Amino acid sequence: MTRSSVRFLHRGEVVSLTDVGANETLLDYLRLRRHAYGTKEGCAEGDCGACTVALGTLQDGGLEYAPVNACICLLGMIDGKELVAVEDLAGANGALHPVQDAVLRHHGSQCGFCTPGIVMSLFTLYHAGGRADRQAVNDTLAGNLCRCTGYRPIVDAALEACDGTPRDAFAAHRANTTERLAALNDGEDIFIGDEEAGFLAAPATVDALARLYVRHPDATLVAGATDVGLWITKQLRALPKIILLGRVAGLAEMRETEQGFYFGAGVTHAQAEPAMAAIDPDLVELLRRFGGKQVRAVGTIGGNIANGSPIGDSMPALIALGTTLHLRRGQATRSMPLEDFFIDYGKQDRAAGEFVTGIDVPRLESDHVFRCYKISKRFDQDISAVLGAFRFTVETGRITHARVAFGGMAATPKRAAATESALRDLPLDDPQGWEAICKALAMDFQPIDDMRAGARYRLETAQALLRKALHEAGGTASTETRLVGLRPEDTERAA
């Protein structure tokens, strides 16, 4: 069954649109079509959060509100969701929503341009459950830039309003909304447009996706659009054929396996967090600093991998962990070690019509030590200058085997082969002996200069990260080696 409309819930009504442009963004829909000017455009590239709206989505049957950057979200992606924009918050009698009221009373707006987006991010925190602490507020606001206030009053407003007991209209309508969203999620394929001239398609099954993509290998797959969105808004690329992956049920699967965890390509960074936490806390910190909440809410593991950027964050960590990648084209499937997927800058081992179905990530063994560090100019929502990931197998104070991978050091995410072999048999109690190995990194990588960092800094920092990992593997607590992302075992010990 195929449907030729996009349907979503807005202000208690089902909106059904048949005229959805394949490249039309949610922000343009709100501002240009609905003349709803509350949602602002500050950058049109997902980085400032001025355009933040909330999307109500069913997760395992329950209703959750996630912040999304409307500027790079395609309108078609909100099918089956509830759209909440800033105009929708105030009560019928004009009464402010609790987060709006708190931001106002705490003097949390100056010029007011960032404010609607901030209010929407806080709205999602208000509904996230549990009393918010400073860390939660910081994480919620990592994708919202404010140039005026210095954030303190906004943080105070959030701490006051987000007390874990939502009492707004959205909480009151929760059951009803859940029911209506369930009804909207009909499992039908969506196809709007024309096979030749261009279309917006949103298949509901992996099989349907496989068939469609083989027929249209020139189509653009879109998962979270946190990369593709910028091709549209910044490069002004015309992408006439769009296949949305968000409704493909099989792609969002996540399960525990014998060796570890399986993540479908469509699993978002936000969804992946609990399973990643079960592997290692450094992965949680890596995810925490992967974009902001808006990016993690829709950005997917498959998108990060398929995009193949040398500065993509998940790849070095997944490679160091020994991840296997799964691909499918039509009925044919194949698998490979993740590192083999990346051939060169902008070039991956992916055939026309082939797509990523998922990854298998092995869990750590008891003799494994895993460490991962992201270096960027700003801690939150920044792209890595260098990212290093290490998995050492340690036996009686000696490394017997190492997997080391870096981002930002070459044209692709890459393993450090020379370093890995130099690490073999290295004792962890003799820092003097490590220096030669740090030098081996210079044989593995010839990084480049760009706006994020110079080549020399990249190489020296990669060496420093290896040194740091070795110190930590040798027993130095992260409280002595890190400014952020302390490992829970160390903070517990310190406490």
Partner 1 sequence: MPPEVLQAERTAPGDGNGAVGRALAHDSARGHVQGTARFIDDVPEPAALVHVAPGYANHAARGRITALDLDAVRAAPGVAAVLTAADIPGKNDCSPVFGDDPILADGFIAFHGQVVFAVVALSRDEARRASRLARITVDEEEPRVSVEAGLASGETVVPDYQFLRGEPGADMKQAPHTGSGSLHVGGQEHFYLEGQVALALPGEGGAMHVLSSTQHPSEIQHLVAAMLGKPDSDVVCECRRMGGAFGGKESQAAQWACLAALAASVTGSAAKLRLDRDDDMIMTGKRHDFRVDYSYGCDDTGRLVAVDGALNARCGYSADLSMAVCDRAMFHADNAYFYPSARILSRRVKTDTVSNTAFRGFGGPQGMMLAERMMDDIACRLGLDPLDVRKRNLYGRGRDITPYGMKVGDNILPRLVRELETTSDYRERRRGIAAFNGSNRFLKKGMSLTPVKFGIAFTLKHLNQAGALVHVYTDGSVLVNHGGTEMGQGLHTKVAQVVAEEFGIGFEHVKITATKTDMVPNTTPTAASSGSDLNGMAAKRAAATIKDRMAALAGRLYQVPKAEVRFADSTVTVGGQDIPFAELAKTCFLERVSLSSTGYFATPKITWDRASASGRPFLYFAYGAACSEVTIDTLTGEMRVDRVDLLHDVGNSLNPAIDIGQIEGGFAQGMGWLTTEELVFDAKGRLTTHAPSTYKIPVASDVPEDFRVALWKSKGNREPTIYRSKAVGEPPLMLAISVFSAISNAIASLNPGRVPALDAPATPETIARAIRSMQDA
* 260 and 323 Cβ atoms separated by less than 8 Å: no
- Give the number of other Cβ atoms within 10 Å of residue 179's Cβ: 12
Binding mask 94-123 for ligand FES (x = CB under 6 A): ---------------xxxxxxx--------
Query: Does 464 interact with partner 1 (rule: CB under 8 A)?
Result: yes
* 92-121 residues near partner 1, rule: CB under 8 A: 96, 100-101, 103-116, 119
Distance CA 292, CA 163 (A): 22
User: Could you tell which of ligand FAD, ligand FES, partner 1, none binds residue 291, using a CB distance below 5 to 8 A set by kind?
Assistant: ligand FAD
* 199-238 residues near ligand FES, rule: CB under 6 A: none
Residue 251 or 486 having the CB closest to ligand FAD: 251
Q: What's 112-159 look like in SS3?
A: CCCHHHHHHHHHHHHCCCCCCCHHHHHHHHCCCCCCCCCCHHHHHHHH
Query: Does 360 interact with ligand FAD (rule: CB under 6 A)?
Result: no
Query: Does 41 interact with ligand FES (rule: CB under 6 A)?
Result: yes
- Phi then psi for 493, rounded to 5 degrees? -65, -45
* 177-196 residues near partner 1, rule: CB under 8 A: none
Query: Does 335 interact with ligand FAD (rule: CB under 6 A)?
Result: no
Least Å from the CB of residue 485 to partner 1:
11
Query: Does 54 interact with partner 1 (rule: CB under 8 A)?
Result: no
Please identify which residue in 15, 17, 43, 411 interacts with partner 1, judged by CB under 8 A.
43
Helix (H, G, I), strand (E, B) or coil at 354: strand
Binding mask 374-403 for ligand FAD (x = CB under 6 A): -------x-x--------------------
Query: Does 26 interact with ligand FAD (rule: CB under 6 A)?
Result: no
Task: Read off the amino acid at residue 450.
Answer: D
- Phi then psi for 252, rounded to 5 degrees? -95, 10
| Alpha carbon 319 to chain centroid, angstroms | 17
What does the block give as tokens for 154? Answer: 């906004």
Distance CA 346, CA 295 (A): 22
Least Å from the CB of residue 118 to partner 1:
9
Residue 226 or 309 having the CB closest to ligand FES: 226
Residue 149 or 381 having the CB closest to ligand FAD: 381
* 341 and 323 Cβ atoms separated by less than 8 Å: no
Residue 45 or 273 having the CB closest to partner 1: 45
Least Å from the CB of residue 137 to ligand FES:
15
* 63-92 residues near ligand FES, rule: CB under 6 A: 69, 71
Distance CA 141, CA 114 (A): 11
User: Could you tell which of ligand FAD, partner 1, ligand FES, none binds residue 104, using a CB distance below 5 to 8 A set by kind?
Assistant: partner 1
Distance CA 493, CA 305 (A): 36
| β-pair partners for 191 | 201
Determine the straight-line distance between the first and last CA of the chain, rounded to whole angstroms.
58
Query: Does 388 interact with ligand FES (rule: CB under 6 A)?
Result: no
Query: Does 457 interact with partner 1 (rule: CB under 8 A)?
Result: yes
Stretch that binds ligand FES, among 38-46, 78-86, 174-182, 364-372 (CB under 6 A): 38-46
Least Å from the CB of residue 297 to ligand FES:
13
Nearest to 229 by CA among 299, 159, 160, 293: 299
Query: Does 474 interact with ligand FAD (rule: CB under 6 A)?
Result: no
Binding mask 192-231 for ligand FAD (x = CB under 6 A): ----------------------------xxxxxxxxx---
* 250 and 61 Cβ atoms separated by less than 8 Å: no
436 burial (CB, 10 Å; 0-12 / 13-18 / 19+) is exposed
DSSP per residue over 287-340, as a string?
HHTSS-HHHHHH-BHHHHHHHT-TT-SHHHHHHHHT-EEEEEETTEEEEEEGGG
Binding site for ligand FAD (CB under 6 A): 46-47, 220-228, 245, 265, 290-291, 295, 298-300, 302-304, 306-307, 312-313, 355-356, 381, 383
Q: Which residues bind ligand FES (CB under 6 A)?
A: 41-44, 46-51, 69, 71, 109-115, 146-149
